Amino acid sequence: MNITKEQIDELNAVVKVAITKDDYQDKVEKILKDYKKQANIPGFRKGQVPMGLIKKQYGKAVLVDEVNKLLQDNLNKYLTEEKLDVLGNPLPKQQDNFDWDGDDFAFEFELGLAPDFKVPLETKKPLTHYKIVADDKMINEQVERIQKQYGKLVSKSEVGKTDEVNGTFKNEEEEIDNKTTVELDKIDSEKVVSSLVGKKVGDTVTLKTKGLFKEDYLLSSALGIPGDKAKTLDIETTFTIEEINERQPAELNQDLFDKLFGKDVVSSEKELKAKIKEDSEKQFEQQSDQKLLNDVTEYFIENTKFELPTEFLTKWIQMTGEEPLSQEQADAEYEKSEKGLRYQLIEGRIIKDNDIQIQFDELKEFAKGFIKSQMAQYGQLNPQEEELDNIAARVLGNQDEVKRLSEQLMSQKLLNLYKEKVNLKAKEVTYDNFVKEVYG
């Protein structure tokens, strides 16, 4: 067998594979002999079928199968040994006069090659790296939410301005009949609040749905209808009061602190606020880091210039899908995927140039950290190391999970590299200002 490469240009090449009879003959003969032993053909005893008949019946199919196996194995081996950075897969060239009846065969494959380029990590212009801080307003609001959440309900005879009212919304035409709890401080209209204040159990009030709550999602929950429908709903409903409660806030004492964070971790209101600030800013850091990762990605895509083998890739898209595409469809698919392909190449070059690798031990530790944070959400704050090891072993036994966690860990390694190498300017903002600035 002989494999040669003809370089068309920097991004395109043709690989030619020449296969002779000596390359496949022994394998084909062995398979046909096995067929002869097992063949069950009327008129012949098992194992006594003439080889000429076996070759006539099965020879061409076995030959084609074995040559194709030989071709694929050696082509892949050649690409690996020659360290050819191929985009997509090799595409076989059409050969109009190809003849399977000969002894020797010649095949040609088109290759699309990855471009050679550099990715300077030190950006020309500084990119903003946000530091999101929890301000006093946010911390105080969180303290109030905690006090409310852990407070106690006291039954009342009539509705007050900050009470919680259990009742049923009804509208016969829209088939609404839903029991719910309405917190008056989440109602957007002072007029509606006034219409409820002073009402007693058994009273019914008429409420308009449009602009009823401060947050849109609350209407969907209150009426028991889909969110899409709630967004545009503008009707009158009746609300019948069934129970009235005042939620008295919990005291900021050691008992509450221990419920929140474990025994003696926090011992004063000042320490509570400091802990809320620390925990909030740790969560904000994830959003800030994701924003930085997105911005660096966009910067590299926009500022790293290189050509792609567009004609080859379009042809590859056209020919390798579940169904063949028209030229117009393939062009459209290529246009949609080009940006993602460019970043895959850029990211791959950064990983290679900076020798970023993922070792199994660090993947296992990363998985354990992820598991630990998940368990903490359900109140399991101090799991045993043995328990974490066992869960991590099960998780890493799933190839889909290994792939997902590896991608997350690689993103974290890239982020650390960008923080060290990319030209960044720090900007401290509150969470509200971050949302306004980033999302508009």
Q: Can you name the residues that pair with 235 across neighbouring β-strands?
A: none
Q: Which residue ranges in the chain fall short of pLDDT 70?
A: 379, 381
CA–CA dist 24, 104 (Å, integer): 10
Tokens, residue 243: 């129970």
Q: What pLDDT does 80 receive?
A: 93
On the CB side of 386, CA atoms within 13 Å amount to: 0
Tokens, residue 287: 């959003």
How far out from the chain centre does Cα 52 lie?
Answer: 58
CA dist 108 to 95, 111, 417, Å? 8, 10, 42
CA–CA dist 166, 244 (Å, integer): 6
* Cβ neighbour number for residue 327 with a 10 Å cutoff: 10
CA–CA dist 81, 68 (Å, integer): 20
Task: State the helix-helix crossing angle for 399-421 and 360-377, rounded to 10 degrees.
Answer: 100
CA–CA dist 35, 51 (Å, integer): 9
Which residue type sits at 35? Y
Q: What pLDDT does 202 receive?
A: 95
Tokens, residue 181: 């709890």
Q: What pLDDT does 179 receive?
A: 96
CA dist 267 to 150, 252, 261, 270, Å? 17, 10, 10, 8
Return the ∠ at Cα 377 (arms to 371 and 379), rounded to 5°. 105
373-405 residue pLDDT tens: 888 777 676 788 888 999 999 999 999 999 999
Q: What pLDDT does 102 receive?
A: 86
Using alpha carbons, select from 112, 86, 110, 91 the residue that is nearest to residue 310.
112
Domains, in order of start, for the chain: 2-113 (3.30.70.1050), 152-248 (3.10.50), 267-439 (1.10.3120)
Find tokens 């008429």 and name the residue. 206
Q: What pLDDT does 320 receive?
A: 85
Tokens, residue 79: 């690409």
CA–CA dist 160, 200 (Å, integer): 10
- Cβ neighbourhood burial of 206 (10 Å; 0-12, 13-18, 19+): exposed
Predicted TM-score of the model (pTM): 0.73
